[in-house]
Structures are given as C-alpha cells and as structure tokens.
Amino acid sequence: MVSFIPKGKQRKITLPLGEHLGHVQWIKLTHYYAVKDSDGSIIKGSIISDTDYSDEMQHVEDMRRVESDEEPTELWMYDVFGDEIENDKYHANGKLYNRVTHEYYPNGDIKQIMDSNRLARTGVHRITQIQIQKFTYEYDVNDNLLGFTEYIQNNVAVNWPRSKKTKNVYDASGNILEAFTFDKDTINPLELTLFRYNDKGQKTEEDRSIRQVQRGNDDLVPTEKTTFSYDEKGRVNYKAIYRFHAGLSRDETTTFDTSGKVIETRTYGNNKVVISSQVKRFFKHLHIELYDTYDADGMLTDYTISHLDTARHVTDKSSFHITYQQMIGRDRMRHNVEPGDTIMIQHIMNDEHFNMVEDDTYSYDGKIQTSNTYQYKYDSVGNWVDKLITTNNKPVEIEEREIGYFKE
C-alpha cells in the first residue's frame, strides 16, 4: 500500500475501518431486516430503524432509541493515506443526524476533530438543535502533543460558549512533566498531573491534583498518587495507587517467567488481600496468546484465546466468561462456588477472507444457547459487500456495504 503515497509526504499508512484490501476511499454500510420472498429466498427487507417518522413535522423519537446495536446507515470517507476524514450517520429515513470530521497536519498528526449532532426532542413544541463539539490539537517541533482545546456549543447561531483546554510540558528527552487542564481560562488550572522519572527515563510517579471549586476551594488539592517500579529488563513489576487521606488503596505486582512467555499480575485491595489476578501466556511459534482472569477467591472468571497471524494482520479471538453461584461463608462473606454457568463465545474465521463465520454461545454443560452464522459476498477486490446474519437458523439481518476505491 506504499505506492500511492504522494511524493514529499512522510505519513504513516493506517488501514481504514479494520482490515481491507485495496486503496479504499469510502465505505457505506446499511443494515436491513432479512426477510423471505414468496419463493422462500432470503432478501433485503426494510432498513433497521432507530426512528419511525415520514416527514419533518411528524413526531420524532429520541435519537438514542435504537432497535439494534448498529446505526441504520453509516458512511466513512478516507484520505489518500487511509486516515478517516469523515464519518456520517443517518436515520432510516435517510436524514443525517451525526457527522464527525477529521483534519490532519502534513505529517499525519491529528489537527482537528469536529463532531456535529442533530438532536431532536419531543414535547409540545418540537425542538431541533445542533450540538457541536470541536477539538483542536497542537504539537511542538519534536512532535510532542502540547495539548488540545475542546469547544462545545448547542446552537450554531451562538459562538463557542464552553471550552476546555489542556497543556502539556515536556523535558528535553520528550518525557511529559506536567499536564494541565483549564476551564474558562488558562491561568487557574482545573486539574494538574505531575510526572517523575528515574535516571533511565522510566516513569516512577504520577501525582494528580484537582481544584474543588464546588466546595469553595480555589486551590489545587492532591487526590491521587501512582508509583511504578521496574525489573532489570525495564518492565513494570509493581504499581501502587494512593488516595489522599486514605493511603494505599490498590497495588499490583507483575511477575514474568524466565522466557517472558508467562506474565502474572495480582491486584490487591487496601487490606493487602488479592482482589483479582490476570495471567498471560504467549506461544510465539503458534501465534497464540492466552489471557486468564481470576477473582478474589481464585476462581477463573474470564479467559481469552487470541491467534494473531502477523503476516496477514488478522486476529482470531475467542472469549469466555464464567458466572458462579454464590454462598455465605463462615466469615459472612460471599464466595463463589462451583458448578457455575460458563458462557463461551467462539469465533471461527473464514480460511480465505479471514471474516468471522460463526459465533456460538454455550452453557456450562456444553449445550448451545445461541448460534450466529455469517455468510458473505465479495467484490472483485476481495472485500465483503453483503453479509447475511442468521441467529438460531433464522435469518435476521443483511448488512450491505458499498465501497469506493481510489483510482491508481
């Protein structure tokens, strides 16, 4: 994908919206109900709707009421480098209600993000307003983020009434020393975080303070401190979080085996009792990572198996969650007891296109609870343009993608 970089530009290439083939310029995704015609063939029905109105003056439901987890129609547009420049969301009737635009500096750093929402509210008098949130970013000559300014307005006819600004200060090595957050002015910070480092440039401490204006206190009050320690290989092996007036509230210890293939992290509460632990295992020759999570009783609650094909940049991930029954022990505390309910989500990727074709959920005894399957149609480039989703052998949704490509 390097061939299309204009001369004189030093930009990093990022693939848009996940992994795609070809030089994608835009993608339009629409969700339809899956229905059967008179011949029993599965075809597209109506667009899955988040609102139900036919003209501008008719009653409008709140835009947050959505029947599905997806937007009815969404459009992404990308620049020549694969960076997203615009994302539009539409109601089922085709009306635009959200637009997010991105601008970049020549080197690819984000310059500005503009998020515009068209909000409709119900009531005696129908109210439609535009809410705009804008972020602008600044960098120093070493490409360090100096900070950003956030603007919010609720009516396009009014100048930016609300703003928040951050400011970062770095040392000569590029380590951030101070992070300020301002509200309304750039003199009295609303929040301040200080960073400290050892002689190797490793971060050893973060101190956070806030200004409690609502309590009549105009001074910065310390609220939280986090400290870090490292092993001989520069890996974080201890992390402690302290709360103001409460002392140590939580800490973590991380251990590594001699090969670095097994990483175990234990989290402790303020009474030095383990409240959770995580174990990561790596099998490089198989491109597999295992990640287990245990609760305070040492019971396995979640585990994930990930397969990463580094050559194709594809991850096949299976996630499992276990819910246990609980009982009151002699210490009058609740404890997990087996057997429990195990929920397994299994992803099986298509061998040719590496798209998920099956997503199954099981109970603890191995009986299948929900089965989702996915069937695809592909364009000439190799990207899918039609996806049929079936749940428990019943067709429920068709996702349609239109994809535009840059002309090479």
Residue 86 in contact with residue 76, Cβ under 8 Å?
A: yes
Residue 193: its pLDDT value, please?
A: 97
Residue 308 in contact with residue 290, Cβ under 8 Å?
A: no
Residue 217 in contact with residue 189, Cβ under 8 Å?
A: no
Cα distance between the two ends of the chain: 11
Every domain of the chain and the residues it spans:
287-366
Kindly state the DSSP code that residue 284 receives in the 8-state scheme. Answer: G
Kindly state the DSSP code that residue 6 receives in the 8-state scheme. Answer: P
Residue 70: its pLDDT value, please?
A: 57
Residue 211: its pLDDT value, please?
A: 87
**Main-chain dihedrals φ then ψ at residue 351, nearest 5 degrees:** -65, -35
Choose among 77, 86, 91, 74: nearest CA to 401.
Answer: 74
Strand pairing class (96-104; 274-283) = unpaired
**CA separation for the pair 371, 391 (Å, rounded):** 6
Number of Cβ within a 10 Å radius of residue 232: 6
Instruction: Specify the length of the chain in residues.
Output: 408
Choose among 133, 17, 7: nearest CA to 404.
Answer: 17
Q: Is the pTM of this model over 0.85?
A: no
Residue 200: its pLDDT value, please?
A: 94
pLDDT tens-place string over residues 33-83: 999 999 989 999 989 876 533 333 333 443 333 334 457 899 999 998 888
Residue numbers in the chain where pLDDT is lower than 50: 1-10, 12-17, 52-69, 122-124
Choose among 22, 17, 21, 78: nearest CA to 408.
Answer: 22
Using a 10 angstrom Cβ sphere, with 0-12 exposed, 13-18 middle and 19 or more buried, the burial of residue 217 is exposed
Residue 260: its pLDDT value, please?
A: 79
Choose among 89, 175, 161, 95: nearest CA to 128.
Answer: 95
Alpha carbon 21 to its chain centroid, in Å, reads: 23
Which residues, in sequence order, are CB contacts of 218 under 8 Å at separation 6+? 188, 211
